[in-house]
């Protein structure tokens, strides 16, 4: 796993950390967090993203052919994520990859700002699915996720 690129998470500064599904991943060696909008002005502090793909609702489905790529995940509400995506110009040239359809969220929320509410997943759920698809270790990813068992049960056999 030494050659695996870390997963880059760009988190909006207004993300409610009490409700954030990614809590507990900060400081882990395979994840790097960047705060938005700070990272817009300090894009030079980001790693070389030339071998990365952006997790998005649009784009080609993520598959094992992306296993050598790093993953970029935008962590925010749907409304804020849309604004972030437009402003994060350094991501515009990266390929977009979508989580395959059919997965269900266990996170209890209303998705009024989502283009496709049925496809909406909590960030940790999307990350778990993505890491599974690209064959990265995800055995501990859901450890701090309150709805872990419900999520795994709803998606049993889909991975």
Tokens of 135: 């064959």
Q: What is the percentage of the chain residues whose pLDDT exceeds 70?
A: 89
Beta-strand relationship, 70-75 and 52-61: parallel
Among candidate residues 33, 25, 31, 23, the one with its CA nearest the CA of residue 1: 31
| Residue 68 tokens, joined | 């050598």
CA of 56: how far to CAs of 2, 106, 156, in Å? 26, 19, 23
Interval 12-47: pLDDT, tens: 988 777 778 898 899 888 999 999 988 877 666 788
Q: Among 111, 105, 101, which residue's Cα sits nearest to residue 146? A: 105
Per-domain residue ranges for the chain? 7-154
């Amino acid at each position: 796993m030494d050659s695996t690129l870390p997963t880059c998470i760009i988190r909006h500064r207004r993300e409610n950390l009490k409700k954030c599904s990614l809590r507990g991943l900060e400081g882990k060696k395979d994840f790097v967090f960047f705060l938005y909008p700070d990272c817009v002005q300090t894009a030079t502090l980001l790693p070389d993203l030339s071998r990365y793909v952006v997790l998005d609702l649009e784009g080609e489905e993520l598959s094992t052919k992306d296993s050598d790529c790093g993953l970029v995940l935008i962590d925010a509400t749907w409304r804020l994520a849309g604004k972030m995506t437009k402003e994060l110009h350094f991501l515009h040239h990266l390929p977009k990859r979508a989580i395959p359809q059919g997965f269900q969220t266990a996170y209890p929320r209303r998705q009024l700002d989502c283009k496709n509410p049925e496809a909406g997943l909590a960030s940790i759920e999307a990350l778990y699915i993505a890491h599974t698809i690209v064959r990265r270790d995800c055995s501990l990813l859901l450890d701090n996720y309150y709805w872990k068992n419900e999520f795994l049960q709803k998606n049993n056999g889909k991975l």
